[in-house]
Each structure stands twice: as structure tokens, then as C-alpha cells.
Structure 1
Amino acid sequence: MSPMAIEPAGDPEHGAFDRNDNADAVVRSIHETHVTYKRLGNTGLRVSVPILGCMSLGDKHWVPWSLEEDKALPLLKGAFDHGLNTWDTANVYSNGKSEEIIGKAIKTYQLPRHKLIILSKCGGYVGEAPNVKGDRYENAISRSKDYVNQGGLSRSAIFEQVEASLRRLDTTYLDVLQIHRFDPSTPIEETMKALHDLVSVGKVRYIGACSMYTYQFAQMQFVAEKNGWTKFASMQNHYSLLYREEERDMIKFCNETGVGLIPWAPLASGMLTRPATAKVPEGDRGIIKRVQEVAERRGWRMSYVALSWINKRVSAPVIDFDRIDRIAEALATKDKELTAEEEKYVEELYKAKDRFARRKHSLPSASIILNVSQQCPEIIANVTLCVGEQTMLRDVSRDGSHSQSSTSPALDAKGLATEDAGLTVDSREPIGLIRMACTETEPRVIHKSS
């Protein structure tokens, strides 16, 4: 034996490290790890299965189902203790609050940064107030003096967004920076060079992309390859037993080119975790019923069936959790596999769906956003819109009710304008943001007072 060679103390899988305290610590670490790790595409980076989704961490002003700091911090600690070390967030989640909570968790619990894989996203607009969801209305918000150049995938926007994310996360680098959507208004060369430069200076280690058309993703990869720039290592797309349209081309393209798949909504917003109700779309009920049948035969939870199916097809799905016990439930799929017959059984009822149906916003594309001061008196704002030949006036009071002028169309019981008006004012939106949309290509604000 060479003088430099060290004889192994034993087999770590069987705990035969009795002569070495450090080795004992390794054995304990292995036994305490309840997660499997898989390579992200053809990179050398290994991510946890599943990836912890952090969209739900943040501020209830952004969405009412957010987990605020007091509940989010212990959830992150519990995830880390289980070995769930890959966390996916975005600059727009709760307008940066999700990233801030992750940064605070790292500091509060003294989590070793090098043992975490942090994914974030750029491209969306981060609102300056907690209840502003600027990422949903980028066509309008980009015209604001406060938000111009703050979103999209220009070189300037990407650099500013990444610096802001690093500050909120209190870290010097992102393991994976993902573009949240394709930006048709910015040259692909500009976007890909900016991303490459961030990798070159060490602020970002890998880059990824999220839901877009396959031809757009292929174009971006081609531009990067042609110029010798960093290519995308991952694709975070929509994929589950209830939405398989990505199998047509995106998944095939990624598999053929070594891009790791880290899909969102693998449990279809919980629909694959419980029996179908009357509210579930009719086309999905049969699939959910079959998932339920397989689960009952196996003595499993329904989520085990859905996750076992998708885990076989991707690098790692992204899942949001609201409780630590839900994490343990998801990790229980680690050693569970469906038979070929079971896979066929849960797949065969699937029917083609509208592409990106879940991604369509409820409001028309022509929209106006008005940020209204919280300091206004009882009536927050008067806005008169001219839409085609019809003029409408709305007074929106602090409690969300509406008073109408004679030119205004009638409101329904929920405080929403009737369809023939072509105008929608959503009174359920938290005060501070009024959303308006019309069916015309470009509504004109002809009067505004507060």
C-alpha cells in the first residue's frame, strides 16, 4: 500500500465506521437524509427531489394564502433538516419578501450557504407596495415612471434585478438564475449575453428558463451556443398527470439536449392529492379517479402516485408546502415506483388541452394599473375611461364599494362591471391597487382625480 493511501474504515451504507468519529458523523448524516438527489440535466449539479417551492412564502397582502415569516422560517429549517436543500423562489414572489425570508432563514439558523442550492428568477416587475402584482400586468406597468426598465430581460433590467435579489437573499451568488418568461421586446442576443456575463463574474452559477414556447427556448439556446455563451441548464415548465401538453415538444427537446426538467404544479394545485369534486373540470375527473384507485390498491396516499409518476420523467418537480408534515409526506415517495401497467392506467384517459391554459390571465391584455395612495380620504379615486364610444366613471371607496354615475354601466353583486361595459374593476383587490381592463386595444384615461 502506498504511504499516502488510507484504508477505508468501512462501508458507510452499513455504518461500519466505528474506529473514526468523523466517519460516524458521515453515517449519521446519510441516515438522516430523507431526500434523493438527481443531476440537473447534463450538468454536474445535483438538486433535491423534490425542489422546495417558495412562492407561498411572503406577505398576505400579495396573496391571502401566503405563509408569513413566523410560519415560513421554521418550514425552511425543517426542509433543510430533512435534506431538502434546493429552494426555488423569484424576485416577484410577494414583491421580494419570499427572497427576504430565505435570507433571514439562512442567517437565523446559521445554515451553511454552500449546502443550499438557491434558484431565483428575473424578468418580472417587483411592486413597490406589498399588494402590487406588477408581474401580471407588465404591458401596462412598463409605462410607469416608477417601473420603466425595472422588468423584462434587457441587460439593464437583468443586472438590476439580480443585484436586488442578492441583497434580499443576503448572498453573493445564485446557484441558478431563471428567466421567468420569454421577453419578445428584447433581442435574444442581449438577454443571453447578460446572463452569460453574470455567470462569468460569479454572481450566477447556472441559468435556467421557465414556461415558454419550445421554438423560443430553442432560439435562445442556439444564440448562446453560436456565440460560445452559457446555455440554459434547466426548464421549469407546467407538467403533471393533468397537464401533459409539454410532452409534444418541450420535454422531448429538453431530454434530447440535456436540459433538466423542474416542472411547477406537479400535483395540479392539489387536485391530484384528493378525490375529485364537482368543481374539478370534467376531463380531469377520470384521471383523478384512477390515481385514487391505484393509491387505494397500494395503500398509498394519492400524492404518492402522482409524484412517483412525475419523478421518473424529470430531474425534480417543484412543490410548495405549508406544513413540515407535508414535506415528510412528499419525501415518502422516495422508494415508491409505479408498475408499467399502473402508469398506463393513470395516463390513458388524458385528452389534449389548450396550450398554456393555466397561464392565461383573467383580464384582457389591454389594462391600466393605478397605484392609489393609502392616505386618500373616503373616496380613493375617480377615474373616467373612454372605451370606444362609451365613457364610464367609477368612484372606488376605501371599503371597496362603488358609486356610479349616470354614464356607468350597472354593477353585479360582486362589484364587477357587467360584460357589456367592457370594463372590469375588481373590488376584491387589496386597497392600493385598482385593476382596470377593457376589450379595446388601448383604453384612454381622460380624467383622474384623487
Structure 2
Amino acid sequence: MAPLKITVIGTGYLGATHAAAMAELGFEVLGLDVVPEKIEMLAAGRVPMYEPGLEELLAQHVAGLPASTGRLRFTRSWEEVGEFGDVHFVCVNTPQKHGEYACDMSYVDSAMESLAPHLTRPALVVGKSTVPVGSAERLAAKLAALAPAGADVELAWNPEFLREGFAVQDTLHPDRIVIGVRGERGEKLLREVYATPMAEGTPLVVTDFPTAELVKTAANSFLATKISFINAMAEVCEAAGGDVVKLAEAIGYDERIGAKFLRAGIGFGGGCLPKDIRAFMARAGELGADQALTFLREVDSINMRRRGHMVELAREAVGGSFLGKRVAVLGATFKPDSDDVRDSPALNVAGQIHLQGGQVTVYDPKGMDNARRVFPTLGYADSALAAARGAEVVLHLTEWREFRELDPAELGSVVTDRLILDGRNALDPLRWRGAGWTYRAMGRPQA
């Protein structure tokens, strides 16, 4: 039996990673995108985003590059994709609709409609995008109606669980694989695709369409709830004089709770958690189950409130007004080891301070270009020292290792006032206070 050939439709963050990982697992892979510039970059072994290890993995497999396996190619041709692939992974974006909580399915629908007419033989189409529950049922019917091969084209749903900064690891060595299928053939093909990680011990959960669609949104909702919970506790600690870091340590020892994602700060952002929990609420409302997810409104509210609270702390720190005050912001991305500034709490805080008259200078190790595109009116520097020069307050808003390793004395030599607000509770208070800094963090005593 001939080895499976795989296509990946949509070569953004998810798709590019998945395509490279499938080639690493030994498959011949063809990636498709409708953006010519993206295809040109990937064909040259470069990626349009920062993700540790991804460019190196591409270089090992993209056809035409020195010493590569040649197993990975890219195209803009739907016809070529249809002729080539046995298994087609759909990895396109599902952003939040403008002015609504609901998910925008236009990219997924367009991908399915463009692919289907070229499916002239038996094939499996696998959705990886995060979609509202009920989408797979509708898309399966659309494929069957539009594909020349008809019922020989099956649909499966295989949600992604990538963490930015760890996407290559999460694809090659996932902590679980979830597949929503209707029949044995789809399950058999996906077992073949994922044979290597399964042989390493990765569990496979086989389920129906609705459950597979719900897994990703349920996981993200739980994670968002845990982050907002500890941030709510930070608010109570500030009111009561408690220390949220010690509180988190104490409850984290309870194995029913666990210590992960219990660091209080300015909250979550990025392209997944915020839009996924909002889309989940919107879909629950459509299904008549909106009361089941009303708690997510408070999760979202707590998260957004943290950004405003950091702005208030900074305003208080500089004497009640930002007018004429120089503010250094360390961090622009929503998390470290990424260049993603989508719904970034750090950039949101910087923007709010700027709009209130502050002279804001931002530095981030990887997110500067993307930040400039979103907030071109902010000031930018090429190092933490340059950003802090002359600042009356320094805000630590993305927990990059580079910032944790800063020398407080060296940074202190360039600022106007040694005052730092740690929006991620990631710096060592004793170290900074020992260097003469006034250190403040959310949910912690001032001294």
C-alpha cells in the first residue's frame, strides 16, 4: 500500500507548523495558501512569524533547500492539492466577527468550497480549526454535495492544542490526540497519520463530531477560568493586604488544583483564549444553553479589568497624571517566546497610557515589528536599557527571560526614578529592592 500523501490548507501559524511536523513524521506534504508572499517565504524555508524551532524544522524538509528531505512543498493550486492528497488538513483562521462575540467561519467555508470540486477520488478532509459546535455536521454535508467523489469524501475533526512558543513540540509530541469521526475509515487513516506519537504513548481519544469540536473550546475556557480566578484572588489580596503569590503557592500544592497557570498578573490575550471563550458563549446562546456559560462573561470581565488596573497603578505611581511622564514598557507580545501581539495585554496597557498623555517607550525581544503595525504612535527602543532611559516608571508586562535576567543596578543607572511595576509577578522582589528600586506587583504587599 502506498504511503499516505498529506496536504495542509492554510499555512499560517497552525498550518505551517502542522505541515513541517507531518514532513518530520515521514509523509510527503503539500501546503496550500492563497497569499503568494507567504508561499514564497515558506518555499525558501522562512516563516512569517516567530516560533522557536519551526524555521529549523522547515529547513530540514522543504524541497530545493540544501540537505533537506524534499518531503515538503507549497502551492497555490487547488487542483494540485486535490490530485496530490489522500488526507487534507484544513488549518485556516477562525477569528472573532467584528462587533460580535461569534466566530467568523468564512475562511473555513471558503477552504471547503474551494477544495471540494477537486476531490475526484476517495479522500479524508480533516478540520483542525477551532469552530463552533455543529460546524462539522454542516461541512460534511457540503463536502458530500460539492465533491465529485461524493460519499467517498469523508470529514473528520481533529482539534489543535498548540501553545505558542511550544508549537513544534506540541505537534510532534502531543499530550493527547482527539479525533471526531463518523466511520472506521476516517479513524484508520488518522491512526496511520499519528502512528509515531501514538507509539510514543500519546493517548488517542476517538469521539463524535460535536464532542471533538467542544474539546478545544472547553479546554481554553477552563484555562481562562483558572487564570481569571487567580487574578480575582489578587484583587481580594490587594484589598485585604494578602500576598497572591504565596496564596497561589499554597493552593497549588493541592493536586486537585495544581500550580500551573496560577500566576496573577495583567491577564491573558492572544489569538485564541479571548476569541474562543466569546465564540463559545455566542454558540451556547444559539443552542439555548447560554445560562451554562454565563460564568465566562465574568472570566472575560476579570481579564479585561486587569489591564485597566495596571494603568491605574502606573498613573498612581507617577503622581496621578501621565501628562509629560516618561513610561518604559518591557514587553509587547501577549506571551514570551512569540511575536504575536493579537489582543496583547501589554500593548493594550501601553496604548491606554499613551492615550492618557504618557510618553511611552516599548521594547520587546521579538514583537517590535508587529507592535509598530498595531500602535505606530508609540515610542519604540531596541533594548530594555534604551526603553528605560529617563523613565519615571518601568512596567514589566511580558515575562521574557531577558527581562527576568536584567541587572537592576544597570537599569537603575538610566531611569529617572527607580520604580518598577511587575505586571506578571515574574521578577524577584528582593533583588530589585536590594538595588534600590521601589517594586510593586499586582496582588502583593508593597514591601
TM-score (norm. length: structure 1): 0.31
Structure ranking higher in helix proportion: 2
Structure ranking higher in strand proportion: 1
TM-score (norm. length: structure 2): 0.31
